[in-house]
Amino acid sequence: MVPPVQRDQAHTLRRLHDGTGLLTAAAMRKLDENLAWYRALPAEDRSWVGLVAQAGISSFITWFSDPSTPPHGASEIFAAAPPELTRSISLQHTLQLVRLVVEVVEEHSDRLAAPGAERDLREAVLRYSREVAFSAAEVYARAAEVRGAWDARLEALVVDAIVRGDADDALRSRVAALGWSGHGSTLVLVGTTVDPLDDVRAAELRRATRRSADDALVGIQGDRLVVVLGGEGDLRAAATSLLPRFGPGPVVIGPAVPSLDEAGRSASAALAGLAAAAAWPTAPRPVLADDLLPERVLVGDVVARRTLVEQAYRPLVAAGGSLLETLAAHVENGRSLEAAARVLYVHPNTVRYRLRKVAEVTGWDPLDAREAYVLQTALALGRLAPPPGATELAARTL
């Protein structure tokens, strides 16, 4: 003789099987009536959500036939839908979906359960929904982990492209996928790491950079750390705030550029500065790449060489008068005003006046020891450089 409990359960199970269509239709109506986010989804995503709801109901009925087995988790319920659905609906939305299906089954428990077994059906669906909710959290955690790993790889590719100076449509689409807004200017800073960064420390570093500026990218290249910052705020201040995240040694800030398309120029200057920083042991930390122009020339940086000639030497040539001659006399005679005055047969105050004009023309003060070294390097480079237009003249002659 079949025990009454088993008989009631078998009766309820048959009625549940017969009522699957009723429950699914009721669930879909309730989705459309109660959940604004569901109504806002594209038609394709709405159909996938409907399949998930139907799978949840079917999975519950299957489990109800043998409650001693572990309930099917959300991974099985979501198996019919594409993985991208976790991007369209959040975990909160999924839990709302579970709660709504529970309400539908409860509302129809009087019609679906065997007489006297209504309470057992409601308790079963509550137990099942709890397990599905926990499983849904696991599904979204795994999806977030996969997205995080993919984003980290994509971010590494983007930073590597910036370092190489590759600015193309692929870079723009990739950086857009990482959430880069593109507002304001961009700069690159480089340094070293204390130790090889594990996933946890790398994730913390990325969070810190994103708090410092509107846009941020991080590239970990062995023991070298490359950070790209963008936005409309003070990017140099943001870069300085990240100083504790770097290891010992120099940290170099590249020049700000108008957009990410030109970030390769900032990265090139910063990396050249990092390679040359050892030649200036007393450099500040962080140091601007443009403050390392003489050292960058020593390591073969063509951009630094051209910059010094164009921003220091040629403006002095164009200024005419005796500024270039006075600067040469000053730096070549131990930076002594009196010695330069004797060579030039002028008063020391005249030398001082001309040097102030040099500072106005070039932006570097020859009375400052460090900036005098920059100007002396520019003077030497300018003497070695061909005069403007010589290259084009030679090409036309040939």
For 266-307, write each residue's pLDDT tens digit.
Answer: 999 999 999 999 999 999 999 999 999 999 999 999 999 999
Task: Say if residue 205 is exposed, middle or buried (CB neighbours under 10 Å; 0-12, 13-18, 19+).
Answer: buried
Given a cut of 90, is residue 111 above it in pLDDT?
no
At 242-269, the pLDDT tens digits run 888 888 889 999 999 998 888 889 999 9
Given a cut of 70, is residue 7 above it in pLDDT?
no
Rounded to 5°, the CA angle 238-216-139 comes to 135
Query: Under DSSP, is residue 214 helix (H, G, I), strand (E, B) or coil?
Result: coil
Q: How confident is the model at residue 296, as a pLDDT? A: 95
Rounded to 5°, the CA angle 351-353-357 comes to 110
Q: Specify whether the CB–CB gap between 107 and 69 falls below 8 A.
A: no
Query: Under DSSP, is residue 215 helix (H, G, I), strand (E, B) or coil?
Result: strand
Architecture field, domain 165-293: 2-Layer Sandwich (3.30)
Q: How confident is the model at residue 351, as a pLDDT? A: 92
The CATH label, of 1.10.10, 1.10.3470, 1.10.490, 1.10.3430, for the domain at 4-145 is 1.10.490
Partners of 252 in beta bridges:
190, 287
Q: What mean pLDDT is predicted for residues 187-192?
A: 92
CA distance linking residue 19 with residue 12, whole number of Å: 10
Per cent of the chain over pLDDT 90 is 33
Given a cut of 60, is residue 321 above it in pLDDT?
yes
Model confidence band, residue 150 (pLDDT cutoffs 50, 70, 90)? low
CA distance linking residue 34 with residue 21, whole number of Å: 20
Model confidence band, residue 149 (pLDDT cutoffs 50, 70, 90)? low
Partners of 228 in beta bridges:
188, 217
Query: Residue 279 is encoded by which pair of tokens?
Result: 């030649």
Model confidence band, residue 2 (pLDDT cutoffs 50, 70, 90)? very low
Longest dimension (CA), the chain: 128
Q: Specify whether the CB–CB gap between 256 and 290 falls below 8 A.
A: no
Residue type, 125: V
Burial 53-67 (b: 16+ CB within 10 A, else e): bbbbbbbbbbbbeee
Residues of the chain with CATH 1.10.490: 4-145
Q: Specify whether the CB–CB gap between 289 and 303 falls below 8 A.
A: no
Query: Residue 330 is encoded by which pair of tokens?
Result: 């000053």
Q: Among candidates 107, 92, 225, 57, which has minimal Cα distance to 155?
A: 225
Model confidence band, residue 202 (pLDDT cutoffs 50, 70, 90)? confident
SS3 content of the chain, % helix, strand, coil (to 5): 70, 5, 25
Q: How confident is the model at residue 300, as a pLDDT? A: 92
Please report, for the chain, how many H helices and E strands are present, in that order. Answer: 21, 5
Q: How confident is the model at residue 35, as a pLDDT? A: 81
Query: Under DSSP, is residue 368 helix (H, G, I), strand (E, B) or coil?
Result: coil
- What is the CATH class of 302-397? mainly alpha
β-strands 287-288, 224-231 pairing: unpaired
Model confidence band, residue 396 (pLDDT cutoffs 50, 70, 90)? very low
Residues of the chain with CATH 1.10.10.2840: 302-397
Return the number of other C-beta atoms located less than 10 Å from residue 302's C-beta: 10
Which of 37-46, 220-229, 375-384: highest mean pLDDT? 375-384
> How high does pLDDT run on average in the chain?
79
Task: Please name the residue that has the structure tokens 């005796």.
Answer: 322
Query: Under DSSP, is residue 189 helix (H, G, I), strand (E, B) or coil?
Result: strand
Start-end of H helices in 113-253: 118-164, 169-177, 199-212, 235-241
Q: How confident is the model at residue 81, as a pLDDT? A: 58
Model confidence band, residue 374 (pLDDT cutoffs 50, 70, 90)? very high
Q: What mean pLDDT is predicted for residues 329-350?
A: 91
Q: Among candidates 191, 245, 179, 244, which has minimal Cα distance to 215?
A: 179
Return the number of other C-beta atoms located less than 10 Å from residue 274's C-beta: 25
Model confidence band, residue 137 (pLDDT cutoffs 50, 70, 90)? low
Partners of 189 in beta bridges:
227, 253
Contacts for 14 with CB less than 8 Å, ≥ 6 apart: none
Given a cut of 80, is residue 171 above it in pLDDT?
no
CA distance linking residue 83 with residue 80, whole number of Å: 9
Model confidence band, residue 308 (pLDDT cutoffs 50, 70, 90)? very high
Q: What mean pLDDT is predicted for residues 139-165?
A: 68
Q: Specify whether the CB–CB gap between 174 and 273 falls below 8 A.
A: no
Model confidence band, residue 114 (pLDDT cutoffs 50, 70, 90)? low
CA distance linking residue 124 with residue 128, whole number of Å: 6
CA distance linking residue 143 with residue 153, whole number of Å: 15
Residue type, 177: A
* Terminal Cα-to-Cα distance of the chain (whole angstroms): 111
